[in-house]
Amino acid sequence: MNNQNNIVLDTNALINYLEDYELEVDLVGDKQIVISEITEMEIQCNPNLKSSDRSILKQFLRTLIIIPLHNQIKEKSIDIRLTTRMKLMDSIVAATAQFCGISLVTTDEKFKSVKTITLILLPAVDKR
């Protein structure tokens, strides 16, 4: 995977990107978005999505690189969880970025505790 042309988005960054927030849109630019299987699942769990919006979201997700949860990512997730005390789902997202060797974009400060990833921490939307 070409790390220069790819970027991993956490769920909050992906939502902001979809909502056209300038920082996320500019940061992604022409890069290929990479997400973990966990992010794919999380973003689809919004019970307020209308059927038509859910269909559009699924079409969009087909344009992304979705990294499945496999043994190497599971092991990295466990290590991250044990060393940082992050929630397991966040550990999986961080492990995905680490496994791929790609920067992780998020607005969630708890990812700062993961020293094995390159983090792009954006301010929360309400602080911009």
Which tokens sit at 95?
């492990």
Measured in whole angstroms, how far is the alpha carbon of residue 24 from the centre of its chain?
12
Residue owning tokens 């791929």: 100
Which superfamily, per CATH, for 3-121? 5'-nuclease (3.40.50.1010)
CB 98 within 8 A of CB 105: no
- Which residue ranges make up each domain of the chain? 3-121
Which of helix, strand or coil describes residue 65? Answer: strand
Q: State pLDDT tens for residues 88-127.
A: 999 999 999 999 999 999 999 999 999 999 999 999 999 9
Which tokens sit at 81?
């969880």
Cβ neighbors of 53 (< 8 A, separation 6 or more) are none
Q: State pLDDT tens for residues 12-61.
A: 999 999 999 999 999 999 999 999 999 999 999 989 889 999 999 999 99
